Amino acid sequence: MTSTDELDFLAIGAGACGLAGAIAAHDAGLSAAIVEKLARPGGNSSLSTGSVPAAGSRFQREAGIEDDPERMVRDLTRIAGETDDPALLRRLAEVSAATVEWLVDTVGARLALVTAYRHIGHSVPRLHAPVSRRGQDLVDDLLAAAARRDIPLALGNPVTRLIVEGGAVRGAVVDGAEIRARHTLLAVNGFAGDPALVRRFCPEIAGAQYFGALGSTGEAIRWGEELGAAFGNMAAYQGYAAVAYPQGSLLSWTTIEKGGILLDPQGRRFGDESLGYSGYARLVLEQGGEAYALFDQRIFDIAAQEEEFAELAAHGGARRAATVEEAAVLYGLPAAAVAEEVAAYNAAATGAAADRHGRRDTGLAPLRAPFYVARVVPGLFHTQGGLRVDADARVLHPDGSPIPGLFAGGGAAIGISGRAGALGYASGNGLLTAIALGRLAGLAAAAETGAAVPAA
C-alpha cells in the first residue's frame, strides 16, 4: 500500500474489534485494511475466553432459554449501576443477538451457547463461546474470514499519529507513510498497559500486575485528547482475582462460582467471593496480593471441562489433598485456621449459620474431601472506559457532535461496565463492545458512502 492510496475503511488494531470492523466494511462493498503495531494479531481478544453475550439469539431459543435485550439491560444495570452512557448499553444489548449470529453465519466463527453454568452478571445463560473457551480460537476464525476476503493485514506497523484535516480524521501515519482513509476505526484496546494512565484513571487497581496484551498502551486516549473528544466510564476496568501463580494463567472462576473459596496467607476468608472475578480482584490486592483458592473434586471435575484449566491442573496449578489439613500444608497455611474457615463456610452453605461475609450463592457447597488448592494473585486485564461514541461507534465531541471520519470500539471506546471500578464488569462485556462496535462502525461507514447495508 502506498501513501497515495485512499481506503474507504482503515482499522487500527487487529483484535476482534478491528477484524470485525474490516470484515463488515468489506462485505458492504468498501475497501478495507487493518494495521497492527505488534508482530501478532489478536490482542486481548486472544487472551480472553472468547465469550460473547447475546440476548435472544437463535441458539438460546434452540436451548429453550427465554431471553431478550430488556432482560440483558436489567442484568447489566444491576451489576454496573450508573453508567455514563445508558443508551449505548441498550444499543449493544439490542444488537447482541444479531452480532453473534453474524459471527457464526457470515464470519464462520465456531461458537456455541454455554449452558453448563451462568456467568457473572447474567441471570440466564447467554454467553456464546468457542468450545475450548479460548479467545484465540475466535480470533483465528476472524483472521481466516479476513484472509478469505483478501483484506490486507499489516503486522508490526504501529501508527504514530492520526491524519487530521479541518477537524476530520483522514487516516493515519504508519512508519512515516500516510495511509489515507475516509473512515478510521480505533481498535487499539485500552490503557491498562500504561501504568501512568492506570494511576490517573483507575488508581484502586494501580498496584496489580498487568496480565493483558502488550499493545494496550492508551493511544486512543492520547489521540482522543488531542482531538478534543469526549470520554466516559474512565474508572472502570476488568480485573481478575485468581491468576495462578507462578503459572500466570487464569484459574477458572468456575472453581469459585461453583462453591470454592479464597483464603489469605493466614488461612482466612476475607470477603464475599460471589462479587465475581473482576470485582474481587481489588480485595485480593488490598489484603496483600496473594490468596489461595480451595475447592473440591466435584467442582474440579466441572472446571476440567475447560481446556485452559485442565492444562493448568496438569502443570501443578491446582494441587490435590485428601483432607483440609493436607490442603493447608501444601502451601504452608495454618491448618487449624483453614479447617475452621471451611467448617464455618460449610455451615453457612447448609443453612445452619449465616455466612459472615454475606455470601449467599455457595454453588455446590458444602465442600467435601478430596480438595484442591491453587495459589493465585490478582491481575489487571483491561480497562473498560474510553472514547464516547454514538449508536454506530462514531467518536463524539463533548457536545455530542461526531468527529468526522473517526470510529472507536472495544477498549478504545466507552464500555458498558459502569462508571467506577471493577464491580460492574459482567462476563463478555469487553468482547461484546469490541465486536459489536467494530461491526457497527463498518456498517455505518458503508452507509455514509451510500452503500446498501444490512440492518445492524
Separation CA 385–CA 197 (nearest Å): 12
Strands of 213-341, DSSP E: 231-232, 235-244, 261-263, 291-296, 319-321
What's the confidence (pLDDT) of residue 1?
Answer: 43
pTM of the predicted model as reported, rounded to 2 decimal places:
0.88
DSSP codes, 84-99: S-HHHHHHHHHHHHHH
Strands of 317-390, DSSP E: 319-321, 371-383, 386-387
* Residue of 9, 7, 14 whose CA lies nearest to 35: 14
CA 364, 367, 368 angle in degrees (round to 5)? 120
Cis peptide before 378 (omega within 30 of 0): no
What's the confidence (pLDDT) of residue 4?
Answer: 46
Architecture of the domain made up of 6-193+384-448? 3-Layer(bba) Sandwich (3.50)
Separation CA 108–CA 242 (nearest Å): 32
**Greatest Cα-to-Cα distance within the chain, rounded to the nearest angstrom:** 74
CA Rg value for the chain: 22
What's the confidence (pLDDT) of residue 356?
Answer: 94
pLDDT digits (tens, 9 = 90+) for 168-178: 999 999 988 99
What's the confidence (pLDDT) of residue 2?
Answer: 42
Q: Which residue ranges in the chain fall short of pLDDT 50? A: 1-4
List of residues 6+ apart from 64 with CB closer than 8 A? none
List of residues 6+ apart from 411 with CB closer than 8 A? 44, 188, 189, 190, 191, 192, 216, 220, 382, 383, 384, 386, 430, 433, 434
The C-alpha cell 491524519 sits at 163
What's the confidence (pLDDT) of residue 271?
Answer: 96
238-380: CATH, from 3.90.700.10, 3.40.50.620, 3.90.1150.10, 3.40.50.970: 3.90.700.10
CATH 3.50.50.60 domain residues, the chain: 6-193+384-448
What's the confidence (pLDDT) of residue 454?
Answer: 74
CATH 3.90.700.10 domain residues, the chain: 238-380
